[in-house]
């Protein structure tokens, strides 16, 4: 009996191993069998997940491995994917043939992690279109103008706190500081809650934001991520989740209580929560559940909390390094302060052309994401990747990857790419930029819906900061920046460090 059981176990193990090897072999030979040029180190992505290679190095490796090809095959974690290099082809995919590539890859199944799986970034097909139409009114110029005063107050409070606490300014880690500012902005603009994270340093909004956006590295985290993405049914059974349970509970509670309070007290506040409440009244609670609303509010918080603050950090770093650029921007800020009797108005902010140039260059040199993606929805024929190759059929569920960081640093499009040069985006030069070589927020219907909001809160912070302080390099300032191998987004080793020197009145 024992020997029969042992034989059965051994047989099952052998069958499992053979099945795994078969899947691995088919994956590794997928593009070779289609006659497509492919990444010779096809499992390099695992080195990124395990922290041995930075995401930037990985992107550059893919981008320059076969420089004469418009695209090439690779493996995205465990799935076949295509890396695009040709900007005309990128336009075809993102805009002209959007119906063939309307979605993003799903990182987490919504049944396992509804907080992330139900948001506008992750949704697909008709559900994405419906949510996009629901949320778009939140980001029109009129809504930006309404939220301007809320953001202006947050930036004033933040800068005034620094003025009153000079001990913080001698050498400041800007990621922590700017994240507190973006926390306050999102809390008021999306949730209608006023917090001051510089004074109340451990407020729950900030603490939960840290928990949601800081992912530990290591082998177990990589295995967990792989299971959440590839084996959602098993992840659900094991109780695995992308975020701590307390984070999900907190955001569900905040949104639920906000909705209840507004209904009971008939409060109307034209922000994201209000628009989602209106949409829910139209379609019914069965089609737009509390989890749906919580998920949209959370992704707005998630992106605003971390991505926006990172842009601010890189912009402040470059201004500290380049005093001439900082001085020119400071003079522009002073001009608009004079026009507004000491205040920056919404109208004057939109006229800050050099501010736009500085931020555009910061987004070029340090894009919010290293790679963008699209997921194939129906069979599509790509033209030959290079002379001597045949056209390739992209199948549904195949991923297409856009190496944005590498594109932004290609000398063919941006000469001397490591140089921080806002003049690339001047009125005289911006028309020289090759279309689709600059994609900090993506393009087409899937373009980042909140890009206007991100730029507005960043402009307000820099304007008020420069009004009171000169940004300086300190001993801990790393120039040039060396990117961490432990992060999937652009973060320097050792953090962001600058000094703030109070300007004389």
DSSP state of 117: H
Give every CB contact of residue 357 below 8 A, 6+ residues apart in sequence. Answer: 422, 423, 424, 425, 426
pLDDT band at residue 120 under the 50/70/90 scheme: confident
**Which residue, 11, 51, 70, 25, is CA-closest to 391?**
70
The annotation places the binding site for heme at 448
pLDDT band at residue 18 under the 50/70/90 scheme: low
For 440-473, the pLDDT digits (tens) are: 999 999 999 889 999 999 999 999 999 999 999 9
pLDDT band at residue 307 under the 50/70/90 scheme: confident
Length of the chain as a residue count: 505
- What integer pLDDT is reported at residue 416 of this predicted model? 97
List residues bridging with 501 in a β-sheet.
Answer: 470
CB 402 within 8 A of CB 469: no
CB 470 within 8 A of CB 37: no
Residue 358 confidence (pLDDT) above 60: yes
154 vs 115, higher pLDDT: 154
Residue 16 confidence (pLDDT) above 60: no
Residue 240 confidence (pLDDT) above 70: no
Compute the distance between CA of residue 113 and CA of residue 310 in angstroms, rounded to an integer. 25
- What integer pLDDT is reported at residue 235 of this predicted model? 60
Tell me if residue 497 falls in helix, strand or coil.
Answer: strand
For 474-492, the pLDDT digits (tens) are: 999 999 999 988 777 888 9
CB 495 within 8 A of CB 171: no
- What integer pLDDT is reported at residue 219 of this predicted model? 52
pLDDT band at residue 223 under the 50/70/90 scheme: low
- What integer pLDDT is reported at residue 289 of this predicted model? 85
Sheet of strand 172-173, all strands in order from the earlier edge strand to the far edge? 172-173, 497-502, 469-472
CB 94 within 8 A of CB 374: yes
- Torsion angle, CA of 245/134/440/247, rounded to 10 degrees? -10
Mean predicted lDDT score pLDDT of the chain = 85
Residue carrying structure tokens 């490796």: 61
Q: HEC states along 159-207?
A: HHHHHHCHHHCCCEEHHHHHHHHHHHHHHHHHHCCCCCCCCCCCCHHHH
Question: How far, in Å, are 117, 137, 272, 412 from residue 131 at the CA level?
Answer: 13, 11, 12, 38
For 378-398, the pLDDT digits (tens) are: 999 999 999 888 999 999 989
- What integer pLDDT is reported at residue 468 of this predicted model? 96
- What integer pLDDT is reported at residue 232 of this predicted model? 60
pLDDT band at residue 50 under the 50/70/90 scheme: low
- Which tokens go with 469? 């302080």
Any idea which of 118-132, 137-151, 207-221, 425-439 has the lowest mean pLDDT? 207-221
Residue 87 confidence (pLDDT) above 80: yes
311 vs 62, higher pLDDT: 311
**Which residue, 428, 425, 422, is CA-closest to 358?**
422
List residues bridging with 400 in a β-sheet.
Answer: 82, 374
- What integer pLDDT is reported at residue 461 of this predicted model? 97
- What integer pLDDT is reported at residue 425 of this predicted model? 98
Residue carrying structure tokens 């842009």: 311
Compute the distance between CA of residue 29 and CA of residue 23 in angstroms, rounded to an integer. 10
Question: How far, in Å, are 374, 387, 457 from residue 152 at the CA level?
Answer: 36, 55, 8
- Which tokens go with 103? 């979605």
The DSSP code sequence of 19-68 is HHHHHHHHHHTHHHHTT--B-SSTTTHHHHHTTSS-HHHHHHHHHHHSTT
The values of phi and psi at residue 108, to 5°, are -140, 135
- What integer pLDDT is reported at residue 122 of this predicted model? 84
For 309-354, the pLDDT digits (tens) are: 999 999 999 999 999 999 999 999 999 887 767 788 999 999 999 9
- What integer pLDDT is reported at residue 367 of this predicted model? 96
pLDDT band at residue 38 under the 50/70/90 scheme: confident
**Which residue, 206, 204, 215, is CA-closest to 182?**
206
Q: What is the mean pLDDT of residues 359-388?
A: 94
- Which tokens go with 473? 């390099």
Q: Where are the alpha helices (DSSP H) in 340-399?
A: 346-350, 353-365
Q: What is the mean pLDDT of residues 404-425?
A: 97
Q: What is the mean pLDDT of residues 191-217?
A: 83
- What integer pLDDT is reported at residue 144 of this predicted model? 83
The annotation places the binding site at 448
Q: What's the maximum distance between 2 C-alpha atoms anywhere in the chain?
A: 91
């Amino acid at each position: 009996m024992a020997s029969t059981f042992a034989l059965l176990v051994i047989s099952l193990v052998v069958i499992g191993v053979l099945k795994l090897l078969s899947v691995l072999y088919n994956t590794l030979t997928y593009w070779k069998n289609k006659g497509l040029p492919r990444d010779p180190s096809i499992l390099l992505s695992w080195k990124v997940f395990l922290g041995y290679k930075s995401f930037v190095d990985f992107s550059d490796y893919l981008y320059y491995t076969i420089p004469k090809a418009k695209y090439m095959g690779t493996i995205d974690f465990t799935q076949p994917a295509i890396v695009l290099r040709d900007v005309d082809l990128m336009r075809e995919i993102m805009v002209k043939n959007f119906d063939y590539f309307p979605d993003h890859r799903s990182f987490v199944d919504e049944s396992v992690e509804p907080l992330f799986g139900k948001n506008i970034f992750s949704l697909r097909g008709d559900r994405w279109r419906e949510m996009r139409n629901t949320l778009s009114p939140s980001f029109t110029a009129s809504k930006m103008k309404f939220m301007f005063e809320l953001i202006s107050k947050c930036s004033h409070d933040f800068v005034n706190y620094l003025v009153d606490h000079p001990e913080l300014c001698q050498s400041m880690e800007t990621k922590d500081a700017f994240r507190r500012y973006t926390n306050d902005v999102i809390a008021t603009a999306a949730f209608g809650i006023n917090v001051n994270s510089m004074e109340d340093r451990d407020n729950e909004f900030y603490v939960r934001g840290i928990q949601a956006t800081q992912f530990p590295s290591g082998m177990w985290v990589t295995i967990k991520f792989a299971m959440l993405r590839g084996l959602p049914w098993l992840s659900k059974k094991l109780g695995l989740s992308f975020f701590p349970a307390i984070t999900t509970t907190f955001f569900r509670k905040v949104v639920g209580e906000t909705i209840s309070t507004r209904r009971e007290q008939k409060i109307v506040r034209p922000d994201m929560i209000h628009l989602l409440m209106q949409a829910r009244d139209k379609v019914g609670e069965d089609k737009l559940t509390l989890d749906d609303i919580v998920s949209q509010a959370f992704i707005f918080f998630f992106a605003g909390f971390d991505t926006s603050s990172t842009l601010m950090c890189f912009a402040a770093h470059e201004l500290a390094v380049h005093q001439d650029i900082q001085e020119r921007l400071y003079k522009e800020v002073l001009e608009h302060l004079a026009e507004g009797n000491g205040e920056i108005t919404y109208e004057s902010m939109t006229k800050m052309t050099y501010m736009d140039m500085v931020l555009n260059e910061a987004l070029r040199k340090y894009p919010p994401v290293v790679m963008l993606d699209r997921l194939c929805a129906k069979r599509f024929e790509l033209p030959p990747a290079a002379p001597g190759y045949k056209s390739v059929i992209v199948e549904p569920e195949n991923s297409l990857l856009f190496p944005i960081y590498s594109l932004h640093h290609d000398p063919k499009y941006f000469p001397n790419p490591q140089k921080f040069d806002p003049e690339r985006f001047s009125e005289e030069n911006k028309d020289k930029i090759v279309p689709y070589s600059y994609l900090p927020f993506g393009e087409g219907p899937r373009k980042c819906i909140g890009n206007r909001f991100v730029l507005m809160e960043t402009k307000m912070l820099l304007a008020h900061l420069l009004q009171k302080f000169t940004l300086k390099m300190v001993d801990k300032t790393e120039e040039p920046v060396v990117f961490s191998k432990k992060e999937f987004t652009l973060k320097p080793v050792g953090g962001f460090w600058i000094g703030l020197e109070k300007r004389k009145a």
